Amino acid sequence: MSTPAKLVLVRHGETEGNVAKILDTQVPGLPLTERGVAQAKAFGAGLVRAPQVLVSSEALRARQTASYIEAATGSPAHVLDGLYEVQVGELHGRSDHAAHQVFQEIYRGWHRGELDTRAPGGESGREVIDRIVPILAGLREEFLTEDAEGDVIVVNHGAAMRLVAMTLAGVAPPFTTNNHLDNTETIELLPTADGGWECLRWGRFTPPFALEAAPSADDPMG
**pLDDT tens digit sequence for 54-88:** 999 999 999 999 999 999 999 999 999 999 999 99
Please state the pTM of the whole predicted model: 0.95
Is the Cβ–Cβ distance between 92 and 25 less than 8 Å? yes
| 211/20 Cα distance (integer angstroms) | 27
Residue 18 has pLDDT above 60, yes or no: yes
The model's pLDDT over 186-197, given as tens digits with 9 standing for 90+, comes to 999 999 999 999
Residue 1: pLDDT band with limits 50, 70, 90: low
Residue 147: pLDDT band with limits 50, 70, 90: confident
Domains in the chain: ranges and CATH: 7-152+173-195 (3.40.50.1240)
Would you call 162 exposed, middle or buried from its count of C-beta atoms within 10 A (0-12, 13-18, 19+)?
buried
Q: What integer pLDDT is reported at residue 3 of this predicted model?
A: 82
Residue 211: pLDDT band with limits 50, 70, 90: confident
